[in-house]
Chain A
Amino acid sequence: MDALAVTSDVLAAAVGIATPLALAATGETVAERSGVVNLGVEGAMLFGALGGAIGATLGGPATGLALGVAAGILVAALFAAVAIGAGADQIITGTAVTLASVGLTGTIYRQYYGPGGVGLSIPTLSPLPIPGLAGLPLIGGALFNQPVTTYLMALATPLTWWLLFRTRAGLGLRAAGEDAVAARAAGIPVRLTRMVAVLVGGAFAGAAGATLVLSQVGTFTERMTAGRGFVAIAIVVLGRWNPVGAVLAALLFGLATAMQFAFQAAGLKVPYQLFLMLPYLLTLLALAGVVGRVKAPGELGKNED
């Protein structure tokens, strides 16, 4: 294979890997901008994946996506009830919600598909080439020949940016995350705002999980999100609590992951595990550079008194 074709393939793979991460990170950005950090994103993604798988076997990809989103919202609602409703520690609540999701999805999956989960195979969404653009060299495959879920992500993220930074509702949400007392004095229902923000985050995480099943893997397996929800939380920070930044950070992570294909193609004898580590190490390094230069939402992680 020539270098151009390899680069084009790597870029296309990077965008595919980045799509669910960007979706989950966009949703978590909304939640964190309102002052809530939700480690249950991992669990919501996992439930989104299971919902996506069950929905797709029942009624096709669109049903799968809808059921995945609904499942993600449900998981986020559990988190919101404990962390915002009762004011419990957000990090610990999120960890517990993820633990519950691992157990529940595993149990439901075995109940639904039998112990081995045999025979569960969902046709993945095929790439949808955009006429005229898909044929562009280098970036055509990466940007204009992707499954419909990637295009949805590309629409949802700028829309979220606009809602957060250019509307009154977005201003209120950010105020709730920056200074709860001042926001309340200005008549913003802080608690309600945060609940809605967390549910929106859950919807995005559910969509991310469904995307993983529908566009990439084509089946559900236990713990299949394998920490992508946690990576999304790091990506939120890396993207400086901005949805567009989150997409860029997700692309960076996707690219670091996809690099292994390039090295394989080049025939380099490097243990593949080093490439598994690379995206996480890069993220840590990037975090060191980003944090401190940009301020986190003032109320992030704090309980409302």
Chain B
Amino acid sequence: MRSDLRAAGTAVGALLAGLVVLALGLAASGYDAGNALAALVTGAFGSWSAFTGGTLVRAVPLILIGLGFALALRGGALNIGAEGQFYLGAIAATWVGVHAAGWPGWIALPALAAAGLLAGALWMVVPVVLRLRFGVLEVISTLLLNFVADALVSLMVLGPMQEPTGIYPQSAPIAASARLPLLPGTRLHGGFVVALLSAAGLSWVFARTWWGFRLLALGTGPRAAEVSGRVPAKRLLATALFGSAALAGLAGAFEVSGVSYALYQNLSPGYGFTAIGVALLARLRPSAIIVTGIIFGALEVGAGAMQRDAGIPAVAAYVVEAVIILALLLGDAASRRGSSQKPVVEAAEVLP
């Protein structure tokens, strides 16, 4: 309980540090910091439509990818390639969605979601094989595959999946039956509910299942876990990585099915990297990832409003996110110094 409180305290402190740095930076560059922060808060929470259609919609991919990042990291693996897996999910979902005309929604939507999950996981096959067979760290391989996925989206929207007129670099719109239902009167799509359910499910897996326990054992002490003979290290790691990638793919599918209704280049404004901050700020706890996902969603939507109303570049939001992550790491390091506690986040050693 004490460590829970301390962890929550560090998280709140990190969040404040991010906002303070933003305010100081704005003041230092001659902006009216009060005005700008007001624009940020209003942009994210100012109205029902801003909150649901802006903040919560933005939170959906962040929560899903953040859950995936946490899943892999619990087992000691770092999936830095969510960006690519997101795009694979988006491509597959678009393909299903475009061909779903005439299908009933109860077939089209599950098919679309399954395509996203599967495509995301498929994008992880190469990194898993490289890691387990050749010892290539997944950090490098998933990162490299992001660029391949980028090129693949470009290839699709200018090639086989381009809209029929062949003018714009985008796909044809997906069928109405393949679009996620919206909360009446808002732009919030049903993917939000799935994100909440995924968090609940993962929370259960982590806390209540033998599999989740062994995954944590692998993540915190890979050598001990292997030597014990009770932990099938390779299989666990592979499953966690595939699950991580599948969640990112699902995020991509929902972005198409609930927001864009077509495949575009640059569909993701860097969700794959932002979600790392989401997962870390939540200390890898699924239920907390819902909260931090919404906070980061608010931050990015608010930053957009700040750019419109106060002329401050929206990319400043990345600085805030980075400061939050760095402050968390520093806070952990400081509290570790006093005790012999293991760090919350520690990359595993390389498996042979």
Q: Interface of A with B (CB < 8 Å)?
A: 39, 78, 82, 86-93, 95-100, 102-104, 106-107, 110-111, 115, 222, 227, 230-231, 233-234, 237, 271, 273-274, 276-277, 280-281, 283-284, 287-288, 291-292, 296, 301-303
Contact = CB atoms under 8 A, between A and B. Distances in A.
B227 interface: no
Interface in B303-318: 311-313, 315-318
Contacts of A273: 151-152, 154-155, 158-159
Nearest to B325: A96
Interface of B: 25, 29, 78, 80, 126, 130, 133-136, 139-141, 143-148, 150-152, 154-155, 158-159, 270, 273-274, 276-277, 280, 311-313, 315-323, 325-326, 329-330, 332-334, 336, 343, 345-347, 349-350
Contacts of B29: 107, 111
B276 to A, nearest CB: 6
A29 B180 CA distance: 48
Contact of A292 (B135, B154, B311, B349): B135
B147 A277 contact: yes
A283 B140 CA distance: 10
Contacts, number: 151
Given A88-B329, A231-B144, A95 B276 contact: yes
A86 B277 contact: no
A280 B144 contact: yes
Contacts of B350: 296
Given A103-B318, A277-B147, A292-B135, A271 B155 contact: yes
A92 B279 CA distance: 11
A234 B144 contact: yes
Contacts of B159: 271, 273
Nearest to A86: B333
A96 B281 CA distance: 12
B148 A103 contact: no
A284 to B, nearest CB: 6
A82 B143 contact: no
A91 B313 contact: no
16 contacts: A86-B330, A86-B334, A91-B80, A92-B280, A95-B80, A96-B277, A97-B322, A227-B143, A227-B146, A234-B143, A273-B158, A277-B148, A283-B144, A284-B141, A288-B136, A291-B135
B315 A106 contact: yes
B130 A276 contact: no
A103 B316 contact: yes
B273 A95 contact: yes
B141 A287 contact: yes
A271 B313 CA distance: 35
B347 A99 contact: no
Contact of B143 (A230, A292, A303): A230
B330 A88 contact: yes
B313 A110 contact: yes
Given A91-B139, A92-B280, A99 B154 contact: no
A88 B10 CA distance: 15
Contacts of B323: 100
Contacts of A103: 315-322
